[in-house]
Amino acid sequence: MFRHADAVVQFVMLILVAASFVSWTLCVVKLNAMRESLRGVRGATAQIEQAACLADLRDLDRATTAMAEAARREITSSAALIDDGRVEGAAQRVGERIARIEGAALARLREGLPVFASISSVGPFVGLFGTVWGIMHSFAGIGAAKATSLAVVAPGISEALLATALGLVAAIPATIMYNYLLRRLAANRDALATAATLLAGLAAREMETIAVAAARRTGSA
């Protein structure tokens, strides 16, 4: 049916096959990335819960490593203020840095998801266009041949309907993939939020400890 279809219908079919291939490939890539990220963040969260200070954190995943490094840099930059007891401002800056990194990590995981939405919404209409064009081409052939038998009409219509079928084949899995990946993204978002909150709390506790130690040194002096 593909070989005997009109050139426009063939082009539509190729587009839909390519879209289906892209959606399946992207689904595998995104699913692996989300699983790896979720596993890493959950492992980091367990480590953060047991840590007494930021220096105790080792071999974290990419996102939580960046969060911990940002917290360490802020504590180092604000060392004089923390020693003076000004912990609240430093804790707020640490929280802001961690929140930016958390947002960037989620944005990386979200990349590519609109492709599924586009394929699921546009695919059926692209297939329908191929079908309409194919049927128009078939009726034009009927008029030229001046024959109305089913044997003349059926091949062209079946080739045209194949475009609609391919549109559904591309769109339906893309819709399922999109909804499933959105649920996986929500799980990653919750895990990142938990890790960010715990890490910000750990950094705040460390800063308060530094401030108390500095106050004691000043008092004893």
Question: What is the pLDDT confidence band of residue 24, given thresholds at 50, 70 and 90?
Answer: very high
**Position 96 pLDDT exceeds 80:** yes
**Position 93 pLDDT exceeds 60:** yes
For the beta carbon of residue 120, count every other beta carbon within 10 angstroms: 21
Q: Which has more pLDDT, 152 or 70?
A: 70
Question: What pLDDT is recorded for position 64?
Answer: 92
Q: What distances in angstroms separate CA 145 from CA 141, 149, 189, 208, one per listed residue?
A: 6, 11, 62, 90
Question: What is the pLDDT confidence band of residue 9, given thresholds at 50, 70 and 90?
Answer: confident
Q: What percent of the chain has pLDDT over 90?
A: 52
Mean pLDDT of 161-175: 89
Question: What pLDDT is recorded for position 192?
Answer: 95
**Position 150 pLDDT exceeds 60:** no
Highest mean pLDDT of the ranges 1-10, 83-92, 121-130, 197-206: 197-206
Tally the C-alpha atoms within 13 A of residue 15's C-alpha that lie toward its C-beta: 19
**Position 32 pLDDT exceeds 90:** yes
Question: What is the pLDDT confidence band of residue 79, given thresholds at 50, 70 and 90?
Answer: confident
Mean pLDDT of 64-68: 92
* Cα(135)–Cα(107) distance, integer angstroms: 44
Q: Which has more pLDDT, 21 or 135?
A: 21
For the beta carbon of residue 40, count every other beta carbon within 10 angstroms: 19
